[in-house]
Amino acid sequence: MSHPSYPMPLYAHAGRGRFEDVYEPAEDSFLFIDALERDAEELQGLSPSVCLEVGSGSGVVSAFLASVVGSSALYLCTDVNSLAASCTATTATCNDVALQPVITDLVQCLLPRLCGKVDVLLFNPPYVVTPSEELLSNQGLFYLVTIVENFPEEIIRLLGEGGLTGGPCLSRRAHNERLSVLRFHRTPLSRALAS
């Protein structure tokens, strides 16, 4: 079954001018976008209230998610870099979507308020997965970009111990790296316990 194609967000400002030190979208961002496009129907059916991207950089992935899901959700985008937060805000304006950049180290400042409330969780820094179980809502989906050196199988095992079920959603070779997007959701038992 084919799904509609969504336009690639505008991001010409990323990696240039005052944003030259902000990570410009590359193969990992594009793979992330392809995985979200592939899951577009499921994401729309989820009707998310809160979407959170950790390590948003340019904000292009969240801008794409917002174009798929629509304006009913809150889109939080965290980054430790204030220029990245500003670049995310510019990306939002260029694409006419509402993204809320938050300057923070990971999600520590948001954890108490968002515990169990995030419906779509996007992690671009693949070495950080610890708060995912706490943040994810019962019906939530968690997407994580990895490379082989991150030991994706070990991440799947560790998150499984934390009550999440998942595996590879989409993979691609980019230059000398094997990139994968892993996708997780709460296991039926952990959903029942959280209710």
2: nearest Cα among 38, 46, 31: 38
Q: Is residue 12 assigned to a domain?
A: no
pLDDT in tens, 139-168: 999 999 998 888 999 999 988 988 899 999
Beta strand spans in 40-155 (E)? 50-54, 74-79, 99-103, 118-123, 136-147
- Angle, helices 27-38 vs 60-69, to 10°: value is 10
Q: What is the pTM for the complete model shown?
A: 0.90
Report how many domains make up the chain: 1
Q: Is residue 58 assigned to a domain?
A: yes
Virtual CA dihedral for 59, 164, 148, 41, nearest 10 degrees? -50
d(CA 183, CA 191): 16
Q: What is the mean pLDDT of the chain?
A: 88
Per-residue pLDDT, 195: 45
Q: Is residue 153 assigned to a domain?
A: yes
Q: What is the CATH number of the domain that holds 86?
A: 3.40.50.150
Domain enclosing residue 25, as ranges: 17-38+46-194
Rounded to the nearest angstrom, the gap between the alpha carbon of residue 169 and the centroid of all alpha carbons in its chain is 13
Per-residue pLDDT, 53: 94
Q: Is the dihedral of CA 106, 182, 92, 116 positive or negative?
A: negative
The 3-state DSSP class for residue 94 equals helix
